[in-house]
Amino acid sequence: MSATGIARTVATDAPRAAPLYVASLGAGSPLVLLHGFAMHGGVLAGLAARLAARHRVHVVDLPGHGRSCSANVDTLGAVADAVATSVAAARAHDTAAHAPVAVLGWSFGGQVAMAWAAQRPAEIARLALVCTTPSFVTRADWPCAMAPETLSRFGDELAVAYRATLQRFLTLQVQGSDAGRAALAQLRARLFEHGNPAPAALARTLALVAGNDLRPLAASLYVPALVVAGARDALAPAPAGAWLAAALPAGRLAMLDGAAHAPFLSHPEAFGAALGAFLDER
């Protein structure tokens, strides 16, 4: 399928979802934060607080995660549509309610951000894709990912004991990272802060994680884009981030040495410097 075909499918392949939970803070140019699989916006609270000094920040809980309802959202396009609609509602009374937004998407949230930019390009000013990959699983021509069998086994474990499985998942996110122990403590402290994730929503989202291959989409996204990659990331390996940055027409790469999958926690200064320089560009 062509990139245009993917964008069209992303835009129209599912019904509109119910509004999502959006926390808004700060003042300045609009910035949306999207978390990763099985997390919630509270995991990004520290980052949001720092960014709120210069931006009007909107932190979203994705469908079925955190405080958002467990809507029957089965496609990436439907997730992106729910996010776009909910953010628009949250911005309704902002001074610049109709100005394009910058979107920071972490991990799966980065895939949602890419889908949003594909289906509603006029709404997006720039993208910051943090530890994001166009495909989280290996394919015949895509070796820089996890084996499909590994993700399938994770799904089986999630269905049996999701709390214990998610705790192990957090460990994988910081594996090999400098300051990984401190980052893990922060993730563990916030994991269930917005309530327990809905098991059915986790299963649906995991199916998207397994099925998404956004490589054909990348070349059609002309918005300025920063790809932040962790050199030691086991979930979105560094070569995947490098590929994505090169494939995006206006993409660039910030490779953080010593970082794994949560650089905003493990390497806040280096991460903040790269992100701030990108967001402050005119």
Q: Give me the chain's average pLDDT, please.
A: 91
pLDDT at 2 over 90: no
**What pLDDT, on the 0 to 100 scale, is given for residue 18?**
55
Task: Indicate if 213 belongs to the active site.
Answer: no
Average pLDDT over residues 134-153: 95
**Highest mean pLDDT (candidates 110-119, 143-152, 153-162, 194-203):** 110-119
Question: Which residues, in sequence order, are bridge partners of residue 29?
Answer: 55
The residue annotated as part of the active site, out of 58, 194, 233, 266, is: 233
- Residue 180 confidence (pLDDT): 84
Note whether 220 and 190 are within 8 A (CB): no
Catalytic residue status for 70: no
pLDDT on residue 15: 43
Share of the chain above pLDDT 90, in %: 78
Give CA–CA dist 159/203, Å, rounded. 8
| pTM (two decimals) | 0.92
Q: What confidence tens digit (pLDDT) does each residue in 168-214 have?
A: 999 989 988 888 888 999 999 999 998 888 888 889 999 999 999 99
Interhelix angle 108-119/199-211, rounded to 10 degrees, is: 70
The 10s digit of each residue's pLDDT in 63-117 is 989 999 866 788 999 999 999 999 999 999 998 899 999 999 999 999 999 999 9
Report H helices in the chain: 3-12, 45-51, 76-90, 108-119, 148-160, 162-174, 180-190, 199-211, 215-218, 238-247, 263-266, 268-279
Q: Out of 35, 58, 81, 107, which one is annotated catalytic?
A: 107
Distances (CA, A) of 36 to 13, 99, 236: 22, 25, 12
Per-residue pLDDT band for 12 (boundaries 50, 70, 90) equals: very low
Between 141 and 176, the more confident residue is 141
Mean per-residue pLDDT for 22-49? 96
From the list 237, 241, 234, the residue with the least C-alpha distance to 274 is 241
Q: Which residue of the set 35, 194, 261, 267 is catalytic? A: 261
Contact 56, 28 (CB under 8 A): yes
Instruction: Give me the pLDDT at residue 74, please.
Output: 85
The question of whether 93 is a catalytic residue gets the answer no
